[in-house]
Amino acid sequence: MPNPVLIGQTYYLRVRVPKDIVESSKRERVRVPVGGDFVTVVIGDAVKVSLQAKDATEAKRRFTQARCAQ
């Protein structure tokens, strides 16, 4: 199961896009809920967005919220 990724001091959601749909959805924009707001992300080989959290517990909560919204 995917988990938040720590880069520097901030946690990120990083999810790979399946190969069979990456070509048809590349460069599309999606809105991902992060901490009560929505962040617009461009789809590539992966979707990566800052969870705007430095605390692991808060990052896990935001990660679950953002991933379940997909």
H/E/C letters for each residue in the chain? CCCCEEECCEEEEEEECCHHHHHHHCCCEEEEEECCEEEEEECCCEEEEECCCCCHHHHHHHHHHHHHCC
pTM above 0.85, yes or no: no
Confidence at residue 67, expressed as pLDDT on a 0 to 100 scale: 85
Confidence at residue 58, expressed as pLDDT on a 0 to 100 scale: 96
Confidence at residue 2, expressed as pLDDT on a 0 to 100 scale: 80
Which of 68, 63, 39, 43 minimizes the C-alpha distance to 53?
63
Q: pLDDT tens digits for 2-43? A: 899 999 999 999 989 899 888 888 899 989 999 889 999 999
End-to-end CA distance of the chain: 15
